[in-house]
Amino acid sequence: MAYTMTPTPAGPVGSQYCVCKVELSVCGQNLLDRDVTSKSDPFCVLFMEVNGKWVELDRTETAVNNLNPAFAKKFIIDYHFEEVQKLKFALFDQDKSSMQLYEHDFLGEFSCTLGMIVSSKKITRTLLLGNGKPAGKGMITIAAQELSDNRVITLSMAGRKLDKKDLFGKSDPFLEFYKPGDDGKWMLVHRTEHPSVFTLHVIKYTLDPVWKPFTVPLVSLCDGDVEKLIKVVCYDYDSDGGHDFIGEFQTSVARMCEAQDAFPLEMECINPKKQKKKKNYKNSGIIIVNSCKITRDFSFLDYILGGCQLMFTVGIDFTASNGNPRDPSSLHYISPMGTNEYLSAIWAVGQIIQDYDSDKMFPALGFGAQLPPDWKVSHEFAINFNPTNPFCSGVEGIVQAYSACLPHIRFYGPTNFSPIINHVARFASQATQQEAAS
């Protein structure tokens, strides 16, 4: 299996180009047991096919000692309905603290298109080995949800007098949040610790934890319905994956939003088994919501649709280190096809940016050259030789000014582009005084 970690190329961007984001949740069932003295420690890696090669997009956390993992880490993907987006979900048993996948035991994989998952909302399929045969009884379940609601919820939580679970020390508590799935079963959506691929960071040795504030998409936590019940479960972390249950409770986002900075919300953490056995049982501790705030996580497209304009300023290096523009080895050499490295860069960036600028008038400045008629070195000159109006009309205007400028200047030095940065900073400072978004 040839896996790469090449960054995924960005798709086209423009005023007519919009995508929606899809959240993928992954669970595994009956995975192969590759460990001798314990169970496998699986994690899932998501790949996308790009130009005929599988490119890694993301990884889940590692589920310690678990053959039926429900991964808290979600995969977020841009969904292009007009494209066939091929995905591969590969599961591995973590054996070493290494990012190299060949260092870990392969547990099976499943390939499909994103469209297949989205159209079904939830699919369960057999995991396959590299030879195409089933990976034992291993299965994978993938659920899709569109992230059209861009609200996020930020929670600040703590605990008080939680049950002690460790024999020679206090508990190492963490919380898990669940929402009801379409099948009526509770679905894991978040853990209070922030898991990476190979480590879990928990609050150590305390019965009165204060968890780090965290932010999750509201649609992930409760499908955007603040009245929907969610379940919060408290565990004592164990390094072998056998986390001890402390207690649980059910609430809703609307209920948690009653918490204010000066008036925290307290909820009893209940262990049902203890509650049945002990007549005088009250709770297994208190979970405190110190604050709960819902805000909008504005996307780039939100800003654009709201009237935000992007100003595009071009700075061109005319220092002698670029070589003689008449020499084919120079970056400024214009080929018989009428192109060079600088023109290619200007076209590549400019064609995208110009969609977000209403007047399409772009300042184009140069530095590091001697200018006629006195041949003094300048590090901030208009390439159209109009210092009072350095603007060029569209990308075509920049290209024309650049091509006309080349024969009339002498490359010199040093490489000093701070004057151009300061020039742009002055433009930005003026823009902050405008009432319209910019």
How many C-beta atoms surround the C-beta of residue 173 within 10 A?
29
| DSSP labels, 314-346 | EEEE-BGGG--TTSTTSTTPPPTTS--HHHHHH
Q: What tokens does 302 get?
A: 């939100």
DSSP type of residue 192: S
Question: Which amino acid appears at position 313 of this protein?
Answer: T
pLDDT in tens, 354-396: 877 878 899 999 999 999 999 999 999 999 999 999 999 999 9
Binned at pLDDT 50, 70 and 90, residue 203 comes out as: low
For residue 98, which of 5, 198, 3 has the smallest C-alpha distance? 198
Residue range 302-324, pLDDT digits in tens: 777 677 777 889 999 999 999 89
Residues 6+ apart with CB under 8 A from 85: 48, 77, 79, 113, 114, 115
pTM of the predicted protein model:
0.63
Tell me: do 245 and 171 sit in the same domain.
yes
Q: What 3-state DSSP class applies to 175?
A: strand
pLDDT single digits (tens) 103-114: 999 999 999 999
284 and 317 share one domain: no
Domain match, 199 and 211 both: yes
The residue segments making up the domain with residue 123 are 20-147
From 94, 122, 147, the end of a domain falls on: 147
Task: Look at residue 112 in the predicted model and tell me its pLDDT.
Answer: 94
| pLDDT at position 9 | 41
- Are 175 and 124 part of one and the same domain? no
Among 128, 147, 166, the domain boundary falls at 147
The answer to whether the peptide bond before residue 12 is cis (omega within 30 degrees of 0) is no
Within-domain flag for 302: no
Average pLDDT over every residue of 333-350: 90
| pLDDT, greater one: 348 or 255 | 255
Q: According to the model, what pLDDT value does residue 300 have?
A: 67
Q: For 36-90, what is each residue's pLDDT tens digit?
A: 778 999 999 999 999 999 999 999 999 999 999 999 999 999 988 778 899 999 9
User: How many domains does the chain contain in total?
Assistant: 3
Does the pLDDT value for residue 241 go beyond 70? Answer: yes
166 shares its domain with 234: yes
Q: Is residue 290 domain-shared with residue 155, that is, in the same domain?
A: yes
Q: Which element (helix H / strand E) includes 296? A: strand 286-296
| 303: in domain | no
Distance CA 127, CA 67 (A): 13
Q: Which of 242, 261, 296 is the last residue of a domain?
A: 296
How confident is the model at residue 359, as a pLDDT? 85
In a domain, 313, yes or no: yes
Residues 135, 127 contacting (CB under 8 angstroms) = yes
Check residues 118 and 401 and name the one with the higher pLDDT: 401
The DSSP code sequence of 260-274 is -SSS-EEEE-B-HHH
pLDDT at 47: 98
Please tell me the distance from the alpha carbon of residue 337 to that of residue 342, in angstroms, as a whole number: 14
Q: Which amino acid is at 96?
A: K
Q: With CA atoms as reference, report the closest residue to 126 among 139, 116, 142, 108.
A: 139
For residue 166, pLDDT over 90 is answered with no
Residue 62 lies in a domain: yes
Compute the distance between CA of residue 129 and CA of residue 139 in angstroms, rounded to an integer: 12
* Per-residue pLDDT at 222 exceeds 90: yes
CATH code at 266? 2.60.40.150
Considering the domain boundaries, does residue 7 fall inside one? no
Q: Is 338 left (phi over 0), alpha (psi -120 to 50) or beta?
A: left
Residues 107 and 158 in one domain: no
Averaged confidence pLDDT in the chain? 87
Same domain membership, residue 183 and residue 313: no
Same domain, 187 and 287: yes
